[in-house]
Amino acid sequence: MNRPESLSGLVEELEAVADKLRAEAVDADEAADLVERCAEVAARLGADVDSRARDASESEGQERLL
């Protein structure tokens, strides 16, 4: 999976779930499921961003060693 695509795909998914939560009349159980899904996607986004930051930091450190 290409990382830029995964990041943009996760953002799109998060936006779609959030839009559904805001726009539609949903019952309490469905709203809870949607909120849980938003949290899962946000956690995956955070992990991806952290991974990218680590990779950039490690690459930067390797350049300093050279």
pLDDT of residue 5: 58
- Domain coordinates of the chain in residue numbers? 3-65
Q: Tens place of pLDDT for every residue, the chain, 66 residues?
A: 445 557 888 889 888 888 888 887 888 899 899 899 989 988 988 998 898 888 888 776 655 555
pLDDT of residue 22: 87
The letter for the amino acid at 41 is V
pLDDT of residue 36: 93
Q: How many alpha carbons lie under 13 Å from residue 47 in its C-beta half-sphere?
A: 8
Distance between CA atoms of 60 and 51, rounded to whole angstroms? 14
Query: Is this prediction's pTM over 0.85?
Result: no
pLDDT of residue 64: 55
